Amino acid sequence: MPTYKLQVQEDEKNATLWHDVNSATGSPLLFQDETIARAKLEELFPVLVKLERFASGPKRTRVIIVNPYQDIDSEKDK
């Protein structure tokens, strides 16, 4: 079963710089269900998600699949 995590691009001028959305404990928010992950993304970043829906500017949020057998920290280095 895939695991999903949220990422946001905080600097719209640097399209290669994405950051994990972290929980209060500092670890990445992980979800087992893509629909729930997307709902949480919209809850946390409502303006960015709505702008993307109307193609007003570059994509700055995403839900990505994390290989459950891979260390999440090594995923950031890619």
- pLDDT tens per residue across all 78 residues of the chain: 789 999 999 777 887 889 999 999 999 999 999 999 999 999 998 988 887 778 766 788 999 998 755 554 555 554
In a domain, 78, yes or no: no
- Which residue in this structure is represented by tokens 């946001």? 8
Q: What's the number of domains the chain is made of?
A: 1
In a domain, 51, yes or no: yes
Q: Which pLDDT does position 59 carry in this prediction?
A: 81
In a domain, 77, yes or no: no
In a domain, 76, yes or no: no
Q: Are 48 and 18 in contact (CB under 8 A)?
A: no
Quote the CA–CA distance of 40 and 32 in Å, as a whole number.
12
**Model's pTM, two decimal places?**
0.73
Domain extent, residue 61, equals 3-70
In a domain, 75, yes or no: no
Burial of 54 (0-12, 13-18, 19+ CB in 10 A): exposed
**Three-state secondary structure call for residue 19:** strand
Q: Which pLDDT does position 13 carry in this prediction?
A: 80
Q: Looking at this protein, which amino acid is placed at residue 30?
A: L
In a domain, 28, yes or no: yes
